[in-house]
C-alpha cells in the first residue's frame, strides 16, 4: 500500500468544506477551517500520524484510501490541500 501525506495549508483554506464530502477524515476545526481527524470516519477504523502547526495540518497514512484524499484535494476550490506519496 502507498504511504501518503495529506497537507492542508491553513491560510489558503476558506472553509468551503468541499473536502468533507469527498473524504470523511476531513472535519471542521474550532476555527471554522478544515482539518484532518483520522478517527472521524464512521465506517473505517483509520489510523494516521497527525502534525498540526499554526500554518498547516499534515497527516500521514499507509492505507489504500489515497484516492479519497486526492478527490478531497481536487474538490478544494482554493487548492489548500496537497496529497503526496512519500517514501517508506
pTM: 0.91
The pLDDT value recorded for residue 41 is 83
Q: Model confidence over 28-77: pLDDT tens digits?
A: 999 999 999 988 887 787 788 999 999 999 999 999 999 999 999 999 99
Q: Give the Å distances, CA to CA, from 84 to 19, 32, 59, 73.
A: 16, 25, 11, 11
Residue 65 has φ and ψ, to the nearest 5°, of: -110, 25
The pLDDT value recorded for residue 88 is 62
Amino acid at each position: 500500500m502507498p504511504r501518503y501525506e495529506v497537507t492542508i495549508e491553513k491560510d489558503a483554506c476558506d472553509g468551503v468544506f468541499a473536502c468533507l464530502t469527498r473524504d470523511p477524515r476531513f472535519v471542521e476545526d474550532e476555527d471554522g477551517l478544515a482539518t484532518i481527524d483520522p478517527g472521524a470516519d464512521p465506517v473505517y477504523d483509520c489510523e494516521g500520524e497527525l502534525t498540526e502547526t499554526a500554518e498547516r495540518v499534515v497527516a500521514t497514512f499507509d492505507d489504500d484510501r489515497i484516492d479519497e484524499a486526492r478527490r478531497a484535494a481536487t474538490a478544494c476550490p482554493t487548492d489548500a490541500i496537497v496529497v503526496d506519496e512519500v517514501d517508506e
